[in-house]
Structure 1
């Protein structure tokens, strides 16, 4: 548990918040809890590393805000939204792979926010501190919009399909009658547009977003 520190934050008329961070990646949970613990508006931050532990924590000692990782090792953070709300806690959901349908479901269940885990700590802490005071906060863009919305050129989409099939730049170049340098240039461009750093991340993004089939 991280206790409140004396760092300044925007003044509020309400009592300091108690927060439960639910994430099966302990390092991320610790970092987020540490960041939240430095706000004077937050009295304490507890951590649960599984859906099971989260249910026990919420039943044992209610909190004001539950920060829920959507994908947990033993269940979905979305299923914890009603549990948190029944304990009179507001729910902020986080995910490594934002999807529009998942966002709609989270908000429909009553979540106050649906944010990407790579969002800035400023964004994450703002979502927690203002969970009950503003319209829901959601990610700016969804991967499926990038892929299906035409941001990738036809050639980039074609090359991404080959990457998903497990082909390297040389194989792709041979099949498309392009130079390896040209293929690598297209790969660099599509990775930038998708906001990922590697071909493996691009494949994972396409898979988790459920839009691999749309590229065919």
Structure 2
């Protein structure tokens, strides 16, 4: 399986490649520094599974480049990568057909989860879009993005939500226990309850539901009750 990473900054590519390679055991990353190079390299790849395109690299012309890429590879999901966290940029990218929008400030562990989500056929909406929506609605006091109607995450306790955030970050039980000042056996008990409420069988499925709800991890607090 090949993932195409196109960004005109070599340092950005160097920083992302190790995380992209962890998405799966058979992942090979193809690098490009412009849209034209991405198109050329994509043509030579028979099993291109995902493309990540920088919004402002040469040839993109903002989202006109996304249209060009999708016309050439209609079955390949595309994630837009950008240093911008402007809601207008993210909204425009998703409305133009991108499978998701990744800010360059996103943690590497979270990016792994996002890529797995998109490879499973889902879309990823960054949490700051939910926050922007809440501000527009006059509910900026909400600390977390609104959940979709009927979301099973609403059934979780505050502590289970803390643990879910840690799972999205890829933390194992020992790390979660240290971060939340819990015993590891307590973490395991919370996980069993969480999986039951979410209707999932494992951590990967739980993280997938969290990402679909706009939860990006790194929001845990050790001051909540067990």
Q: TM-score range by the shorter chain?
A: 0.5 to 0.7
Contact 2:2/2:45 (8 A) holds in 1: no
Pair 1:27 & 2:11 matched: yes
Aligned equivalent of 2:114, options 127, 140, 161:
127
- SS at structure 1 position matched to 2:120: coil
- SS at structure 2 position matched to 1:54: helix
Match in the other structure for 1:56: 40
Pair 1:99 & 2:86 matched: yes
Match in the other structure for 2:21: 37
Structure 2 distance, partners of 1:77, 1:58, is: 20
Contact 1:95/1:117 (8 A) holds in 2: yes
Pair 1:81 & 2:77 matched: no
Output the aligned Cα RMSD: 2.9
Structure 2 distance, partners of 1:134, 1:55, is: 22
Runs of 4+ with >6 A deviation: 148-151
Q: Which runs of 5+ in 1 are unaligned?
A: 1-16, 152-216
Q: Which runs of 5+ in 2 are unaligned?
A: 141-226
Larger RCO: 1 or 2 (CA < 8 Å, sep 6+): 2
Contact 1:37/1:45 (8 A) holds in 2: yes
Q: How many residues get paired?
A: 135
Structure 1 distance, partners of 2:39, 2:13, is: 17
Going from structure 1 to structure 2, the CA distance change for 1:127 and 1:79 (only over 3 Å counts) comes to farther
Structure 2 distance, partners of 1:131, 1:41, is: 17
Give the TM-score taking structure 2 as reference length: 0.51
Instruction: Give CA-to-partner distance per residue, 1:1-51, whole Å, 9 cap, x none.
Output: xxxxxxxxxxxxxxxx31000111101112211221234344210100111
Pair 1:67 & 2:79 matched: no
